[in-house]
Copies of this chain bind each other. A is one copy, B any other.
Amino acid sequence: VPKSNQPALSGFLNRLLLRSSLSAEEQDAILGLRSHAVQARSRQDLVQPGRTVSHACFVADGMVGRFDAMRGGERQITALHLPGDMCDLQSVLCPTAGWGLMAIGTSTVLHIPHADLLNLVMRYPAIALAFWRDTIADASVLSKWVGNVGRKDARAGLAHLFCEIAVRMEQAGLGTLKNFRLNATQEQLSEALGISAVHINRTLQALRAENLLIFRSRQVQIPDWNALALVGDFDPTYMLIDRHKEAAPSAGFSRSAPPSRGPASARQ
Determine whether the beta carbon of A99 is less than 8 Å from that of B143. yes
Among B33, B118, B129, the residue within 8 A (CB) of A128 is B129
B68/A116 in contact, CB under 8 A: no
Q: Mark A125-154, 1 if CB is under 8 A from B, else 0.
A: 100110111011111101111110111100
Does A225 reach chain B (CB closer than 8 Å)? no
CA distance A267 to B29 in the complex (A): 9
Q: Does A115 contact B (CB under 8 A)?
A: yes
Name the segment of A178-186, A210-218, A236-244 touching the other chain.
A236-244
- In the complex formed, the residue of B with least CB distance to A257 is B122
Q: What CA separation (Å) do A268 and B151 show in the bound complex?
A: 49
Partner of A68, one of B95, B96, B147: B147
Kindly state the interface size class of chain A when it binds its partner: 35 or more
**A194 part of interface (Cβ distance < 8 Å):** yes
A44 proximal to B (CB < 8 A): no
A181 to chain B, nearest CB (A): 26
Which of B28, B29, B150, B238 is close to A193, meaning CB atoms less than 8 Å apart?
A: B150
Q: Are B143 and A143 in contact (CB under 8 A)?
A: no
Flag whether A209 is at the interface (Cβ < 8 A): no
Bound state CA distance, A146 and B191, in angstroms? 11
**B residues in contact with A135, CB < 8 Å:** 132, 135-136, 139
A223 CB–B CB distance under 8 Å: no
A268 to B129, CA, bound (A): 26
Name the one of B69, B96, B131, B142 contacting A146, with C-beta atoms under 8 angstroms: B142
Closest chain B residue to A69, Cβ basis: B147
- Give the docked Cα–Cα distance between A152 and B244 (Å): 36
Across the A-B interface, give the 9 residue pairs with the lowest CB-CB distance, nearest first: A150-B194, A98-B238, A68-B147, A32-B267, A132-B132, A76-B147, A149-B150, A139-B139, A122-B257
Q: Which residues of A contact B (CB under 8 A)?
A: 2-4, 6, 19, 28-29, 31-34, 50, 66, 68-71, 74-76, 78-79, 90, 92-99, 114-116, 118-123, 125, 128-129, 131-133, 135-140, 142-147, 149-152, 193-194, 233, 235, 237-238, 240, 243-244, 247-248, 250, 253, 257, 259-264, 266-268
The contact sample of 11 A-B pairs, CB cut-off 8 A, is: A32-B266, A93-B244, A94-B136, A94-B244, A96-B247, A99-B143, A116-B261, A120-B263, A128-B128, A149-B150, A151-B194
